[in-house]
Structure 1
């Protein structure tokens, strides 16, 4: 190391670059890998346009729970044309399975109609709450496959 100042600068740069590249390590991404959903699951009774959070629908403990949603495909053909924008096309004849997230038990297996709608009415007991109390909530999964790509939308049903 005594004569390092006598080495040509290009060799020092090459040595530095080699050491820098050798010290790099490929690290796995710490975040969950995500795939964009092929459809939009718009759950009825929730705030429109809020697709970043887990929607919660509240029902009284005396009544039944109506689980309904619209399944839409987003046609992005006119994405760059501000006068037209993105179209929401109903997805017909697609099987949707609603399950309890905690146990994986199937609540309902439904098929979308021509307007992309599904709906089912359930009792609190069928959702796993024998005696519903205000504040109880049930986490649900809305799952299906569209164009060979699986998707899942999360939601909750709570007792008023």
Structure 2
């Protein structure tokens, strides 16, 4: 009985060591997340093949000073003069935008400029809106489709 107890004790020790080692290795794979410095709101997803693609965007900074006061809450502050780059395929820059005083910018572009020489119903393109605010980079993906 004592031998079987010792075997279980040794197996438990090995399992603990193996579990600890696997946790240490998994931590190396973790990518640190940073909260986006702005709230990005995008509008416009489906367009006719003959019409241009028009995506409205709004960039807001969230002031959380009064988050615990239910009478005030979180305030949304527009971010003016923010430089935005729009990409397709992660590397092809298709537009540069600058937000106005209300934190808005509008992308108006043809399907051909999005890489669809012949836009057909069901085609879609993933857009990537990127920028930097308060030295923190951000990106927001948005898919547009042909009706």
Question: TM-score w.r.t. structure 2 length?
Answer: 0.82
1:1-160 correspondence runs (5 A): 24-25=20-21, 26-29=24-27, 32-45=31-44, 57-100=45-88, 102=89, 104-160=91-147
Moved more, 63-72 or 103-112: 103-112
Deviations 1:24-50 (A, max 9, x none): 2212245654221000110023xxxxx
CA distance in 1, matches of 2:46, 2:30: 31
User: Which segments of 5 or more consecutive residues in structure 2 lack a partner in the other structure?
Assistant: 3-12
Deviations 1:89-112 (A, max 9, x none): 000111000100x25211111111
Question: TM-score w.r.t. structure 1 length?
Answer: 0.76
Q: Count how many residue pairs are aligned between Structure 1 and Structure 2.
A: 139
Deviations 1:121-140 (A, max 9, x none): 11110111001011100011
User: Which segments of 5 or more consecutive residues in structure 1 lack a partner in the other structure?
Assistant: 3-17, 46-56
CA distance in 2, matches of 1:124, 1:153: 20
Per the TM alignment, residue 59 of structure 1 is displaced from its structure 2 partner at its CA by 0.6
CA distance in 1, matches of 2:17, 2:90: 48
RMSD: 2.7
Three-state SS of the structure 2 residue aligned to 1:27 is: helix
Per the TM alignment, residue 68 of structure 1 is displaced from its structure 2 partner at its CA by 1.9
Per the TM alignment, residue 67 of structure 1 is displaced from its structure 2 partner at its CA by 2.2
Decide whether the 8 Å contact of 2:90 with 2:128 is kept in 1. no
